Amino acid sequence: MSDRLPMLLAALGKRLPSERLTTLQQQLHQADGPADEGFHRWAAAQQAAGLAFQLTEMRIAWQQEAPQLPGSALALSLGAVAAAREDTEDEPTELVVSGPTSPAIPVRLTSSVAVDVIRSAREALVIASFAAFGIHEIVSELRAAAARGVHTDLLLEESTSAVRAFGSLGSRVQVWHPTDTSARRSLHAKVIAADRHTALLGSANLTGRALRDNIEVGVILRGSHVGRLVDHLRWLTRPETGLLQAQ
């Protein structure tokens, strides 16, 4: 028997937050087998980035490798994955600040953390910022990341001309702007996500003052939450959402 079905179930168990995993288990409990039409329709209707495809792959492997198993057996397997995940909690978040530091709690400075996160990427970076300028060190790190084969998506607010800060990178990065250029919706997120393992979230834009001098706060996020954050940001860039467009 191939191990593809267990691997696909494990991937779903790691990806989905607890409430979504519970919903999947409930749907599987109602499925007699891989050909169950109700489960097929539910799986095809899932909107999260790549989830419908992931569920289809799981259903195909189920049909090919263990068609005799009822959905309740797969639901039980997912329950075991969820229990194991609870036993290995994600690494705790760390606090990050710009500007003055206090003796209240140990923190790291935004400027150095931003560089560390970019350097930790081996495959992909997803970066979002409302404004960007005066960030020569960040641009240098992105150029170095591109040289080692890292693909970078920059989600930037067009009204602030943030893209100018990255002009020297040319085709080394992919830039995305909101399709809605009215004041009703701005791209206000500030994120640097490396692969699916580490992300810097905070109030600081990618500007020299925000990274060093302004009073800003943020956190370093690690573990499964990063993957879900990356999935959301990449979903924003999908053509069918109509939310962001490539420059």
Is there a contact between 121 and 144 (Cβ–Cβ < 8 Å)? no
**Nearest by Cα to 190 from 176, 200, 182:** 200
At 169-188, the pLDDT tens digits run: 999 999 999 998 766 788 99
Distance of CA 108 to the CA centre of its chain: 22
**Nearest by Cα to 128 from 108, 149, 114:** 114
What is the secondary structure of 175-204 as a DSSP string?
A: EEEES--STT------EEEETTTEEEEES-
pTM as predicted: 0.66
- pLDDT tens digit at each of 247 positions of the chain: 467 898 889 888 877 777 788 899 999 999 999 999 999 999 999 877 678 888 999 999 999 999 999 999 999 988 887 777 655 555 567 889 999 888 776 678 899 999 999 999 999 999 999 999 999 999 999 999 999 999 999 999 999 999 999 999 999 999 999 998 766 788 999 999 999 899 999 999 999 999 999 999 999 998 878 988 999 999 999 999 999 999 8
Q: Would you list the domain boundaries of the chain?
A: 4-86, 94-246
The class (CATH top level) of 94-246 is alpha beta
Is there a contact between 125 and 155 (Cβ–Cβ < 8 Å)? no
